[in-house]
Amino acid sequence: MNQFDFAIIGSGVSGLTLSALLSKEGFNVALIEKNKYLGGNLSSFTRQNVRFETGVHYTSGFAQGEVLDVLYRHLGIRSQINAVRLDIGGFEKVHMGGQSYEFAQGYDLHIDKMCRYFPRSADEIKNFYLEIKKFGYYNSLEGVLNQNIDLNQLSVNAYQKIRTQLSDPLVFNVLTGTNPLYAGRKDYTPYMQVGHILDTYIRDSWRLQDGGENLVDTLKELLKKQGVSILTGEAASGMTFDGDSISGIKLNGSNEIKCKHVISTLHPQKTLELIPSDKLRKSYRSRIESLPNSLGMFNLFLVMKPESFPYFNHNQYHYSTQDSWIADIKDTTQWPYGYFVYSQASKDSRYSSGLVAMSTMNFEEVAKWSGLPVERRGQEYLDFKAKKTEQMLNALERDYPHIKSKIQSVYSSTPLTYENYYNMPQGAAYGIQRNSQDPLSSTVQTKTKIPNLYLAGQSVSFHGFFGVSVGSLVLASHLIGNEKFKHTLLNTL
Ligand SMILES: Cc1cc2nc3c(=O)[nH]c(=O)nc-3n(C[C@H](O)[C@H](O)[C@H](O)COP(=O)(O)OP(=O)(O)OC[C@H]3O[C@@H](n4cnc5c(N)ncnc54)[C@H](O)[C@@H]3O)c2cc1C
């Protein structure tokens, strides 16, 4: 039987990137995906000829010399990725307390705008961004390849630190108004996570004009050319062992492929389900099993009537109160307390053919239907979704008067959708919840006690297209040989 050098489980951004990088170096790779299509959260779907993204609406890192630009040039497919820059003067707009605040790309313009909005807090704002800017090195190609992130920094809590940096509550809530990007929790979210994310997006923000699906298709073609065995519709259901090392992966419980190394990009709790109980220490298993997850999202996908609603080349964040840390609000009566809305990229740059609005959703709200196939969730679930849809539409109507009359059709998803399609526990949008109170326990390392098993994906590295791409680069660099890989990538600059 053919023995692969690497069996990579899961074909989201992480699995696709690792497969591309390792096969480019001549490794014999098998990519295993439970769904019939590749891409995980990078995949798109179409309703009434309008394409919608499931989990990557915008990203950073495509400016010349930035990490994703170099990664895709290295893979030889950069010219096939149509990344369009979001509005420089305001790639995000935060609406709070009846005012709108634009977040600009580039630190000078960004800080200048914020100081104009809040002149009395100008010194605090400048100091706040001075600190955020320090993450720039770690987000640069050189910083990524040198990988000297100090994990102890994860113990600094974002809410507490930023709250002391920005004494005016409005300034604090506006500057952290893109909170859904990291589903920030007051007691848990580390400052380092927020710093990384804010820095990357202020540096450069892009929309994939042809959608995640185009990137997935491009990568798929590349993988085929590089000889990767792409196994779709094949769920990894177990691992077989030869002594302490993995010797193969069982697919759908029957067929098995043989491999020298395994990289699992699944949620770590799902990876554990594939490993016999005697192969890992009990304490490791119970630590991973007990880790809480980040919140999931409720999404509305709106097909708009033709030429009825203008396209906007930025993201909008709306809040009904002056609190952008909405993930901590337990009372759901006035939900959504905040939501994020964007226009799907389309050929006609004047009008939106599709809009997506999303807000965080506590898993407890849908837990009773967890694990049930869609057709068995029943009328109660449909009623729940209808109620949430109406609440979200009312919020949209408040912020975009008459928008309801411009909508042709409405589709929705809940965290259960992500649980079901991507095997993500609790439909967590960003995998495991990072915890500043216990940073080491909530950090899952790539290397495991099983000598030929590596973990990757958004619960291991930082989340997001940029975060998991960086995580994949770092792991690939380790597997290929750091110095050789570094040299090759830096020569691509
Ligand atoms: C609603 C939402 C909006 C988001 N918006 C953005 C955004 O705008 N920008 C951004 O950068 N990030 C965004 N994110 C986060 C981003 O999508 C993720 O961090 C990233 O795509 C995760 O990639 P991954 O490869 O780690 O995992 P996934 O994309 O989850 O891939 C895992 C893959 O493994 C497969 N799989 C699971 N179990 C098995 C099994 N047993 N066998 C085989 N295959 C299996 C799944 O089907 C899936 O394809 C968003 C996420 C959500 C949920």
Tell me: the pLDDT tens digits for 11-39? 999 999 999 999 999 999 999 999 999 99
pLDDT category at 252 given cuts 50, 70, 90 is very high
Q: In terms of domains, do 192 and 99 share one? A: yes
Let me know: does 189 contact 157? Beta carbons within 8 Å.
yes
pLDDT in tens, 56-78: 999 999 999 999 999 999 999 99
| Residue 390: Cβ within 10 Å count | 11
pLDDT for 341? 97
Across 460-467, average pLDDT: 95
pLDDT category at 480 given cuts 50, 70, 90 is very high
Could you give the residue ranges of the DSSP H alpha helices within 42-190?
67-74, 107-117, 122-133, 136-139, 141-146, 158-165, 169-175
* CATH code, domain with 30: 3.50.50.60
* CATH code, domain with 176: 3.90.660.50
Rounded to the nearest integer, the mean pLDDT of the chain is: 95
| Residue 167: Cβ within 10 Å count | 10
Domain for residue 438, yes or no?
no
360 beta partners: 297
Residue nearest ligand 1's atom 50 by CA: 55
Q: Does the beta carbon of 418 lie inside 6 Å of ligand 1?
A: yes
pLDDT category at 418 given cuts 50, 70, 90 is very high
Q: In terms of domains, do 98 and 66 share one? A: no
Q: In terms of domains, do 64 and 121 share one? A: no
Percent of the chain with pLDDT over 70: 99
Q: In terms of domains, do 233 and 108 share one? A: no
Q: Does the beta carbon of 236 lie inside 6 Å of ligand 1?
A: yes
Task: Flag whether pLDDT at 102 surpasses 90.
Answer: yes
Domain for residue 104, yes or no?
yes
Atom index in ligand 1 nearest the CA of residue 358 equals 1
Percent of the chain with pLDDT over 90: 89
311 burial class (0-12, 13-18, 19+ CB within 10 angstroms)? middle
β-strands 255-264, 296-304: how paired? unpaired
Q: In terms of domains, do 105 and 188 share one? A: yes
Helix (H, G, I), strand (E, B) or coil at 356: strand
Q: Does the beta carbon of 464 lie inside 6 Å of ligand 1?
A: yes
pLDDT in tens, 330-371: 888 899 999 999 999 877 789 999 999 999 999 999 999 999
Domain for residue 152, yes or no?
yes
d(CA 236, CA 169): 48
| Residue 243: Cβ within 10 Å count | 8
Smallest CA-to-CA distance from 454 within 259, 290, 287, 193 is with: 259
Q: In terms of domains, do 337 and 370 share one? A: yes
Domain for residue 437, yes or no?
no
pLDDT in tens, 121-161: 999 999 999 999 999 998 999 899 887 767 778 999 999 99
- Using only C-alpha atoms, what is the Rg of the chain? 22
Domain for residue 299, yes or no?
yes
Q: At what angle do helices 158-165 and 122-133 cross, to 10 degrees?
A: 140
Tokens of 52: 């919608």
User: Which pTM does this prediction carry?
Assistant: 0.97
Q: Does the beta carbon of 257 lie inside 6 Å of ligand 1?
A: no
Task: Flag whether pLDDT at 386 surpasses 70.
Answer: yes
Domain for residue 433, yes or no?
no
Q: In terms of domains, do 381 and 297 share one? A: yes
Which amino acid is it at 234?
A: E
pLDDT for 393? 98
Tokens of 41: 């959260």
Domain for residue 472, yes or no?
yes
The residue written with tokens 């729940």 in the block is: 384
Q: In terms of domains, do 191 and 213 share one? A: no
What does the DSSP 8-state code read for residue 350? Answer: S
Domain for residue 153, yes or no?
yes
pLDDT category at 1 given cuts 50, 70, 90 is low
**Final residue of a domain: which of 393, 427, 461?**
427
Q: In terms of domains, do 333 and 421 share one? A: yes
Q: In terms of domains, do 276 and 361 share one? A: no
Across 478-490, average pLDDT: 88
Q: In terms of domains, do 110 and 181 share one? A: yes
Residue nearest ligand 1's atom 47 by CA: 422
Q: Does the beta carbon of 268 lie inside 6 Å of ligand 1?
A: no
Which amino acid is it at 97?
A: G
Let me know: does 416 contact 367? Beta carbons within 8 Å.
no
- Supply the range of the domain harboring residue 303: 92-204+292-427
Distance (Å) from CA 57 to ligand 1 centroid: 12
Number of domains forming the structure of the chain: 2
Q: Does the beta carbon of 44 lie inside 6 Å of ligand 1?
A: no
Q: In terms of domains, do 183 and 143 share one? A: yes
pLDDT category at 490 given cuts 50, 70, 90 is confident
Residue nearest ligand 1's atom 19 by CA: 464
Sheet holding 407-413, edge to edge: 99-103, 92-96, 315-319, 338-343, 354-361, 296-304, 407-413
What does residue 117 show for φ and ψ, rounded to 5 degrees?
-65, -40
